[in-house]
A and B are shown apart, each in its own frame.
Chain A
């Protein structure tokens, strides 16, 4: 619900008339009570089902009938729940938002049904008159239908005036009463309980590169919180006391095959409920942990995962990027910009039967076909079978492709080198820097002009200064070597977590943690162009409402010739 705006004449007439039923209700308390206790919307269904239906109205704008909500905004614009569900502005936690100059106040259970606290310079002032009385079911229904709050104030016209039947209204109000009504689990004795999930397939060196900085951050933060608790600065209040909260960080080590991970996670969580998962690492697919987070509604902030779940709608895990999938996506987007690739010639991908190969080819195929192109020809390369020049040539002779994409590891480099002698060599070879790994630097000079490499990071010469920033910030004095990227990710996890904890602003709901990140709360300018470019590894690292993959780009590069090749950009960071 939004306040302060102009009124159109017709809307005012309608509003003035619409107050009649509201007044009727207010003047006859027995009638008001009857409305509050009526159960036509929730009658005959379980509480769980009623909440599910109410949540669907709130989040998706869909009524139990399956039809979308209907409403008016700005006086005369008819809108549907498909585009104007409550969640759009009031957010998943119900804590409201500030966007484009529009203030959307909280509508969670803990806020709506009591008069709002009044603050002055961060301090609660009990002597100030309250902005509005507590909502009742009846006054909340009036707010949703007519845009009038219990003090009689007309809300901004940007707040939709929903046309809802009583039974649907009851479901929505029933849901609002429990939405962020109590602080989330994982909070006790002024301590946020956090956990990091690490699978035993990760070598100790890599695990420590992430856990070390995280544990150090927790230690430093708790020391500061202890000092603050001993000497609270003047003016500290509910709105600022997050810096007095302690953190605890547990390590949840997953053992055995991924099929058993879910039950291990549930057991860890049963013993020690956590507010959020932070970081985390496995070389395998993140899916079991992703599903645990999703189904238990526990935020998971930036796991180090090459195989994240690719989803446009899942909510609880915020990833660095789409991992290998993103490189496949980048290859497809790049090919789509090349006119010759769009003619009738075939696009062929040779795919190693491995998690990397599957993720890369899925990213390529789904993006390529999503842009309206035909299915690429795919040749599977079984595990254990070496890629040879002979096989490449056989495929190329048969398909005569414009582009031959090779999703394979470093052992593919010699086979690519053999193409020099071919008469009908494809116009373009595409490989993945992530999968080819060190093999990338072994590509022969002569093939470098036509071998295009997906590179989902900032280029090395520009990245150098970020390495220095991370080392100094994390207190790393030696060259971190192979674990550099992990240290950089740890640095980003800490920055995002720290900002998000500030951004939740004393409202300790798990959903509010993600809302804070989505809306860029908690830091000076997080989500701005300038801030987005200050994170290591990625050219830009940005968030936004519902965006779950922070880095969205991938360069296409070639190698310069010589023993110390440079990467030559062939594309923008984000390819359109």
Chain B
């Protein structure tokens, strides 16, 4: 390698490094997701879980565990896999503590999402006990997603949302945006 080429490479790397670290600093100050505290009144509808069992929604919400809710559907191609991979990774990283957290995914495509499909979906993500996926009648599902301000008329334009609920404090935290597991763990910590 000639000295000239080496010098060119060094200058390039230096400039690129400066460019990247500049971007890092900029990114660190940017808001990654929107976090708000909400008051929701959730109707106590009966939905159906991945095992075909009928479940009163309030029985899951008020199990004394911190609850995380998201809205997905089994054939969703873009944002649901990210939300679900995050739930799966969250369970994994929390280890034994995962038993103290109730994860709930609610289908926004109940026409297609049968309990059998929900079960297959959870299996694909290696879901552990404590993560339930619910479907049900369109009327009941709509009642819930409207109460939780997650309604969109078109399933293809649904929202990247995670809602956290602390039954002891009776408060909801709404996370708008796709986040990593580290952020989810931080948010969980704030609910305790």
Contacts and interface: CB of A to CB of B under 8 A. Distances in A.
Interface string A395-429: 00000000000000000000000000000000000
Interface string B36-48: 0000000000001
Interface stretch (A106-114, A115-123, A494-502, A545-553): A545-553
A158 interface: yes
Interface in B144-180: 153-160, 178-180
A19 B21 CA distance: 13
A533 B94 CA distance: 43
Interface stretch (A80-88, A166-174, A229-237): A80-88
Contact of B77 (A15, A99, A371): A99
Interface residues of A, number: 61
Nearest to B51: A372
Contacts of A89: 77-78
B157 A23 contact: no
A9 B157 CA distance: 30
A275 B5 CA distance: 53
A88 B27 contact: no
B77 A540 contact: no
A336 B5 CA distance: 74
Interface in A514-530: 519-520, 525, 527-530
B111 A553 contact: yes
B183 to A, nearest CB: 8
Contacts of B84: 83
A238 B37 CA distance: 47
A79 B81 CA distance: 9
Interface in B4-51: 5, 8-9, 12-13, 16-17, 19-21, 23-24, 27-28, 30-32, 48
A542 to B, nearest CB: 6
A256 interface: no
A559 interface: no
Interface in B67-125: 73, 75-82, 84-86, 89, 109-112, 114-116, 124-125
Given A99-B156, A552-B111, A91 B86 contact: no
B77 A370 contact: no
Contacts, number: 164
A315 B80 CA distance: 21
B63 interface: no
B91 to A, nearest CB: 12
A520 B155 CA distance: 10
A574 B111 contact: yes
A544 B155 contact: yes
A23 B16 CA distance: 9
A12 B84 CA distance: 24
What is the interface of chain A mostly: helix, strand, loop, or mixed? loop
Contact of A101 (B27, B125, B160): B160
Nearest to A103: B78
Contacts of B85: 73, 77-79, 83-84
B138 A574 contact: yes
B83 to A, nearest CB: 9
**Most chain A CB neighbours (cut-off 10 Å) among B77, B112, B136:** B77
A15 B17 CA distance: 10
Contacts of B155: 527, 544
A102 interface: yes
Nearest to A336: B52
B21 A77 contact: no
A338 interface: no
Interface of A: 6-9, 12-13, 15-16, 19-20, 23-24, 27, 73-79, 82-84, 88-89, 91, 97-102, 104, 152, 154, 157-158, 333, 336, 370-372, 519-520, 525, 527-530, 540, 542, 544-547, 552-553, 572-574, 576
Given A6-B31, A540-B111, 15 more contacts: A19-B16, A73-B82, A75-B182, A76-B180, A78-B89, A83-B81, A88-B77, A88-B78, A88-B81, A89-B78, A98-B156, A333-B114, A371-B115, A545-B76, A552-B111
| 6 closest residue pairs by CB, A with B | A100-B79, A16-B20, A7-B27, A12-B24, A528-B154, A74-B180
7 contacts: A74-B181, A99-B76, A100-B78, A152-B19, A371-B52, A553-B111, A574-B138
